[in-house]
Amino acid sequence: MPRPIWSGTLSFGLVTIPVGLHTAVRDLGPHFHLLRESDHSRIRYEKVAASDHRAVAKDELVKGFEVQKGEFVEVTDEDFAKAALKKDRVIDILDFVDANQIDDRYFDRPYYLTPGQGGAKAYALLREAIRRAKRIGVAKFVMRDKQYLAAVEAIGDALVLTTMRFQEELVEPKNFDFPKPTDVRAKDLQLAEQLVNTLASDWDPAKYTNDYRHNLMAVIEAKRKRVKPKLEAADQPESAQVIDLMERLRKSLGQKKSAAPPRAKGTARRRQAKAKPRRAHKAA
């Protein structure tokens, strides 16, 4: 198992569980470098002062906060130390809340929590208690001198910690102009809802692939081998002009209906007669 990027304890009430934190997502890129065209030499970057355009050595650099245009306050390591929170290496669960009450905009990056030595039994107990309660824990913890708000939830056999944004980090919707529900006609809404229902499906993440990344990697590999790349078909670009939405909805519904194969008379009735009643799932 890979080493955790952070280790400490998960705490709720008087209970503490040793845990490790592991990233739950990966960056697949691709990543690129800037090169000189003539010989593919890598390009380096220098830190240059804006006032005289001279390169600045690492030992000359300081951090500063711009309090107003052109006015900076220098912030030292001692200043950061004064503001720093105690590194107690504890993920402190403050509340257990209904996940449906949390706006999705608060969630940021997921991590796996794994039990530390001697913590497997308590870990499993907390995971199943969270699952049965249908709630998630809201916690605070410090990692690399930064305090995080986090959600702790049970997903499969894992406890997953997702870092969250604090309320002041969200941009308020009132800063933008959005259409009102009263701008929608009931007849148009009924047609749009009908299309939504024709596209209704169960969530299957394997269905949704990164076609652009696939094509880009195919182009790179083809250039390397000096062959023609095999690419995914690209959708036709939409016109920038305003479209007749209702006409598009009607056409979309017509395509969906025509795509369905004709059903022979009596087929549905015979299938219904042969079908066995489904067993109800037991509650977890």
Domain CATH for 130: 2.40.290.10
What percent of the chain is predicted at pLDDT more than 90?
51
Both tokens assigned to 176: 């933008």
pLDDT of the residue at 274: 41
Both 215 and 161 in one domain: the answer is no
pLDDT of the residue at 259: 58
Residue 106 falls inside a structural domain: yes
Is pLDDT of 250 > 60?
Answer: yes
Is pLDDT of 218 > 60?
Answer: yes
Residue 77 falls inside a structural domain: no
Range of the structural domain that residue 222 is part of: 208-233
Both 17 and 151 in one domain: the answer is yes
Both 157 and 219 in one domain: the answer is no
Both 144 and 226 in one domain: the answer is no
Residue 50 falls inside a structural domain: no
Give the DSSP letter string of 153-218: EEETTEEEEEEE--GGGSPPGGGS----GGGS-HHHHHHHHHHHHHT-----GGG---HHHHHHHH
If one counts the domains in the chain, the total is 2
Is pLDDT of 242 > 80?
Answer: no
Residue 119 falls inside a structural domain: yes
Q: How many residues are listed for the chain in this entry?
A: 284
Both 19 and 151 in one domain: the answer is yes
Q: How far apart are CA 190 and CA 271, in angstroms?
A: 30
Residue 143 falls inside a structural domain: yes
Radius of gyration of the chain, Cα coordinates, nearest whole angstrom: 28
The candidate with the shortest Cα–Cα distance to 5, out of 82, 127, 110, is 110
Residue 152 falls inside a structural domain: yes
Both 226 and 101 in one domain: the answer is no
pLDDT of the residue at 269: 43
pLDDT of the residue at 196: 87
Residue 39 falls inside a structural domain: no
pLDDT in tens, 102-161: 999 999 999 999 999 999 999 999 999 999 999 999 999 998 888 999 999 999 999 999
Residue 252 falls inside a structural domain: no
Q: Taking residues 261-267, what's their average pLDDT?
A: 50
pLDDT of the residue at 276: 40
Both 223 and 161 in one domain: the answer is no
Both 137 and 225 in one domain: the answer is no
Least confident of 62-66, 172-176, 250-254, 266-270: 266-270
Both 144 and 221 in one domain: the answer is no
Both 214 and 110 in one domain: the answer is no
Phi, psi for residue 29 in degrees, rounded to 5 = 70, -145
Both 215 and 153 in one domain: the answer is no
pLDDT of the residue at 244: 67
